[in-house]
Structure 1
Amino acid sequence: MTRPKIKLTLIDKKGPCGCHRGHRIGDTFDYDTERGKLCPMAMHVAFPYVDILRYGGAIPGQPEGTAVFCCPDADVINVFKAEIVTE
């Protein structure tokens, strides 16, 4: 069984400061090939959600195949969506 591809998209921003890595709403990243472009703090939070999605799990209260999470920087609070890419 091949692991599904995962796309990470910056979908919202809640904090008062700009992202220290320059990420903006609408930025997307392929988890497997572009993860080095994503802020390490956000990637740290993304990892367990990606694993949950890749191995058949679901996040309660979220649409199937998706996980919404925030970066941990309280001044920035970027909101990301991880989703399985179906081709």
Structure 2
Amino acid sequence: MAKPKIRLTLIERKGPHGCHRGHRVGDTFDFDTQRGELCPMAMHVAFPYVDILRYGGAIPGQPEGTAVFCCPDADVINVFKIEKIEK
């Protein structure tokens, strides 16, 4: 059985400064093919959510197959949405 695809999308920026990696609201990343393009700090936070969603778990308080998280840079605070893409 193939693993479901995972898409990460930058949906909002709350901090006073732009992203140090140049990410902008609307940027989308395929976890399997583009994870190296995502900021390492954001990737560090995203990884546990990706594993939970990909292998059948759910995030409390989030719609099924999704998770929303923030990058840990207090000057930037990019908000990302993770979506499990069913075939």
Equivalenced residue count is 87
Structure 2: how far apart are the matches of 1:29 and 1:54? 15
Instruction: Using the TM superposition, give the Cα deviation of residue 85 of structure 1 relative to its aligned residue in structure 2, in angstroms.
Output: 1.3
Instruction: Using the TM superposition, give the Cα deviation of residue 2 of structure 1 relative to its aligned residue in structure 2, in angstroms.
Output: 1.5
Aligned to 2:68: 68
The aligned amino acid for 1:47 is F
Instruction: Using the TM superposition, give the Cα deviation of residue 86 of structure 1 relative to its aligned residue in structure 2, in angstroms.
Output: 2.4
Aligned to 1:58: 58
Aligned to 2:81: 81
Aligned to 1:47: 47
Aligned to 1:30: 30
Over 4 Å off, 4+ runs: none
> What TM-score do you get using the length of structure 2 for normalisation?
0.97
The aligned amino acid for 2:62 is Q
Give ranges in structure 2 of 5+ residues lacking alignment: none
Identical counterparts, % of pairs: 83
Structure 2: how far apart are the matches of 1:25 and 1:44? 19
